[in-house]
Each structure stands twice: as C-alpha cells, then as structure tokens.
Amino acid sequence: MAEQEQFDAIVVGAGPAGVAAAITIARAGLSVVLFERGERPGQKNVMGGVMYGRMLADVVPEFWREAPIERVVTDERVWLAAADSAVSIGHKHVPPTVEPPNAFTVLRVPFDAWFASQAEAAGALLLPGTTVVDVLREDGRVIGVRTGRQDGDLRARVVVIADGANSFLVQRAGLSRPLQPDEMALVVKEIIALPAAVIEERFTLEPGRGATIEVYGAVTRGMAGYGFIYTNRESLSVGIGALISHFMETRVTPWDLLEGFKSHPMVAPLLRGGEAREYLAHAIPEGGVRAMPRLFDNGVLVAGDAAMMVNNLHREGSNLAMTAGRLAGETVVRAVRAGDFSTRTLSAYQELLEASFVLQDLRKYERLPELAARHPELLHVYPALLNEAAHEMLTVDGVSKREKQRRILRRLLAERPWWRLLRDAYEGWRAMR
Amino acid sequence: MKIEEKLYGLRWKHDKQSHITVTDDRLCRERCPSEWKRPCTTFCPANVYNWDGDKIAISFENCVECTSCILGCPYRNIDWQLPRGGFGIEWQHG
C-alpha cells in the first residue's frame, strides 16, 4: 500500500479493548483502521457472559438504550460444592430502576457486532475478515502491521495490539516471554435455550433481570477453576474451566468436565428441558500481573486479554479491556498531538493504567494465580469440609451440638493438620489482601 | 453426550489448507507417551488431536480456535497459526 495511506493508528482486534480504543481515537478526529479476523466482529469471540456498565458507559454513554443486552444482573450467587451438595452465599439487589446497569449478561456475537458499529459510526475504518500476522518494524520501532492479504502491509503512527488471549502479535513484537500452561485457563461453555418465563421462575427473577452463579469445589475434579451459570434472555450460559496445566495433568476432557458440571444435582434442575444451542471453547488469561507483557514500546500499545488483563477472582475482564482500550486511545491522541510516538510519550499509557483500577486490582491479586496453580486442592478440601460441617450441624439426630462441633473439628484436623491450616490461611490472606 | 454431537451444530468456513501442524512426529511417538501420555488427545476441547498408531492425526476442520494447544503441548511441538482472514469457526451466539 502506498505511503500516503498512512493512518494515525491501527487497532488489531475488534473486541472490547480494540473497539474502545478505536472509538476513542476516531472521536478525536484521527484516522484509525480497526482490523478483525472474523468476517463480522464477534464471530470469533467468547466469554463467560458478564459485562459491566460503568466502563462501557465511559466509551458509549447511555449504551443501555440500544446495546443488545441480555439481562441486567441483580442476583449474584457463589456455591461451594461437594459431590451432591453445596453451601450457597449470595447477594440480591432489587433497585426500582436498573439504569445505568452495573452488571449485565451478553452474547458476544450480537454484542460485539453492535459495539464495533459504534466505532464505525465514530469514523473508524473497520476491515473484517483480515488476519494480522506480524508487526512491521523500522529502526527499533513498530511502524505498521502485515496482514495475511496480498500486498497487505499497512503503516501507521501507532499500533494498538488487542488481538485477545494468547496474543500472536505480542509475541511477534517481542513484548513478552512465551506464556506457560499454568498462566492460561481453558473454558468450555454451552448456550442452553429455555423460555424467558421458565428462567425467571427457576432463578426467582423479575422480567429482564438476571442471575449469576459461580460454582467452586468438586465440579472441577481437582483442578483450579470454577463452573458458572449466567442467565440470558432466553438461554443460559453454562460453562466450566480450569488451568491448561491441570487439564494436561488430570487428562480430564473438557467436554466430560462440562457434562459432569451440568449433571451435578444442584445444577441439573436449573437446566432441565433446555436445548443446547452452541458449544464454545476459549482460553482465558490467568497469570495476572506477573504474566503481563510490556504494555508499551516505540510505536505500540497492548490492551485487554492480549495484555493478560483479567481479574479472575471477580470474573472481570471485558471491563478492564474497555478501560485499557480507552486509555490506550487517549494515549494515541496525546502522542499524535505531541508528534512523538516513542516510549517517552507512550509511557503515559502505563501511568494511566497504574492510576486506574485495572493495574491496581491486578497488583492486589498478584500472588493469587501462583497459589491456585500450586495448590488446586485448596479449592476442593475446604468446600468439601464446609459441606460436611453444614450437613453435620443440620442433621437432627439426637447428637448434642457440642459433640457435633467436636466431630467437625476432628474431621478438619484429619484432613488438614493444624500447621497446614495456618499456612493455608496465611497464604490465602497474602494472596487476597 | 459425545464430543461429536457437541461439534455437530457448529459452523465453520473451512480452508483447504490446515492451520495446524505437528513439528516433530518423533516426539509424539517416542518421548510423549511415557512422559506425558499425549495430553493434546485429551485437553483439546474440539478433539482435533488423535493418535493414529503412528502419528498425531490432526482434524483441523474441528478446531474452534481456543489456542490451548499452543501452551498445552509439553514440547511446544504443535505449530498452530491463526486461520486466514474470514476462515475457521463462526460462532452463532458467543
């Protein structure tokens, strides 16, 4: 392509991070190309299904009037499961109005198509069906990208890499060491169709409101991970995932794991009569801040899953991606105004992220990924013991409550000697404080 | 439910050429069985990898592009490239 076709910015990947960046850059009146390898944005994209309103409203104000939202989440539950039971905790909030929504469920194919159309409306040039295979370099800086098309080189002042989990471009640009199998999870899920009224009845929901359930414990068969059930308008997103390293060790197949989860006695009644519409799989970054690539270099910025921006404990990712994408976009605008695309100006991106919840939250849980990878049994031993304890206390059989307490303590110490309990508590506290 | 049934309802635009190759078949034949028992044949969610008695047979048409095999092969012996633009899995819901 000819020299005069240079753009201010190229964004690779039309997911939450890339689209947020493209919208921000285009709205500032700059020229931006948005590459997407799917024929339409969304076709290649998978997530559990929960998004957050605040970070989307920062990019598309009043999005809830038009975005293809499934249900506004008002009921969030966590189950700590044993083989045939669960201890349940949760929070339900029933406000008179849900606008703007805090959390909501989506299906990524319609949602991402809508989100990318916002970038086009702002003036970004969307080029779908195009795989970006490499970055172009000159004198130690990134000056554009190489696509899989014939004569497919395109130059720009800045490239924003937002090509998702297991980013090829981050590796090509030399921004990261190779990732390890304990730094990425594999998640499989199914879309299970049910009538809206059945979903609202089963999950005790007002029309249009939604519930989320995360399930820890026996369902992941000794691996670090969790299962989830999210309500859509007329379907459920039901999935489960675990670290790739644990799949390698246990030799459990992902589809067996999913079927086992779906047939758990707590889960099965919620799905009964539902019809599986789609089976999906994707990798999810788990390594946290310690597995992050360098976030900027001369002529290049990285945002979203490509930069490992996932807070798994709080199942947040798309919101980190949208905020990072927006901040990358603002940094590009600043760089164009200053006429400088070196690290001197682009380092502002890192500073903006450090000052935001994105890097502050990821730093807070910096130790958690390693703890989960090394001690997946923590996610099984304690839910199992908790279920036994609850069962013991709730079984009315003439045994005194004090004796029941003694039994529970004996069980606990048989499973976990006191020094292990102390160490678990200390490591758990250190990983989450 | 079998994996074949799960994959049955999915949509792809198939390329003629595979985007996946095994770099060194000898590793799969000689080292992996005793050291790792060929984990690609179990962790791949689309059952792309099967041992045919001599080498890993790759059903690249089944690939749903989760990218797990890039990290999950203990020898980094799977060369997995992004499908050409417009090819590969086409999710209907996401």
Cβ–Cβ < 8 Å for A229, A237: yes
B91–A42 CB contact, under 8 Å = yes
A268 in reach of chain B (CB within 8 A): no
Residue A26, in any domain of the structure: yes
A148 in reach of chain B (CB within 8 A): yes
Which pLDDT does position A2 carry in this prediction? 44
Based on the domain organization, do A281 and A296 belong to the same domain? no
B4 CB contacts (<8 Å, ≥6 apart)? Answer: B47
Residues linked to residue A33 through DSSP beta bridges, in sequence order: A10, A125
Which pLDDT does position A137 carry in this prediction? 96
Q: Tell me which residue range forms the domain holding A310.
A: 3-70+106-176+292-355
- A149-152: long-range pairs with CB below 8 Å, 24+: A149/B85, A151/A1
Q: How many residue pairs from chains A and B have C-beta atoms closer than 8 A?
A: 136
Residue A4: CB atoms within 10 A of its CB come to 5
Based on the domain organization, do A59 and A172 belong to the same domain? yes
CATH at residue A196: 3.30.9.90
Based on the domain organization, do A221 and A263 belong to the same domain? yes
Q: Is the ipTM of this complex over 0.90?
A: yes
Give me the number of domains chain A comprises. 3
Domain at B24-82, CATH class:
alpha beta
User: How many Å apart are CA B84 and CA A275, to the nearest integer?
Assistant: 32
Which pLDDT does position A355 carry in this prediction? 98
Residue A229, in any domain of the structure: yes
Based on the domain organization, do A247 and A110 belong to the same domain? no
Average pLDDT over residues B13-39: 97
Nearest CA in chain A to B67: A283
Which pLDDT does position A387 carry in this prediction? 98
Is the overall model pTM greater than 0.90, yes or no? yes
Which residue, among A175, A167, A171, has the nearest Cα to A349 in the 3D structure? A175
Arithmetic mean of pLDDT over chain B = 96
Amino acid in the structure at residue A262: K
Residue A91, in any domain of the structure: no
Residue A259, in any domain of the structure: yes
Which pLDDT does position A5 carry in this prediction? 64
Interface mutation vs chain A, best among B17, B40, B91, most A CBs within 10 Å: B91
User: How many Å apart are CA A362 and CA A311, to the nearest integer?
Assistant: 6
Name the A residues in 99-138 with CB < 8 Å from any B CB.
107-112, 128-131, 133
User: How many Å apart are CA A334 and CA A258, to the nearest integer?
Assistant: 46
Residue A40, in any domain of the structure: yes
Based on the domain organization, do A205 and A132 belong to the same domain? no
A259 in reach of chain B (CB within 8 A): yes
Nearest CA in chain B to A277: B9
A109–B93 CB contact, under 8 Å = yes
Residues of chain A with pLDDT under 50: 1-3
Based on the domain organization, do A400 and A259 belong to the same domain? no
Of all residues in chain B, the percent with pLDDT exceeding 70 is 99
Please give the torsion angle defined by the CA atoms of residues A253, A256, A261 and A265, in that order, rounded to the nearest 10 degrees. Answer: -150
User: How many Å apart are CA A142 and CA A297, to the nearest integer?
Assistant: 8
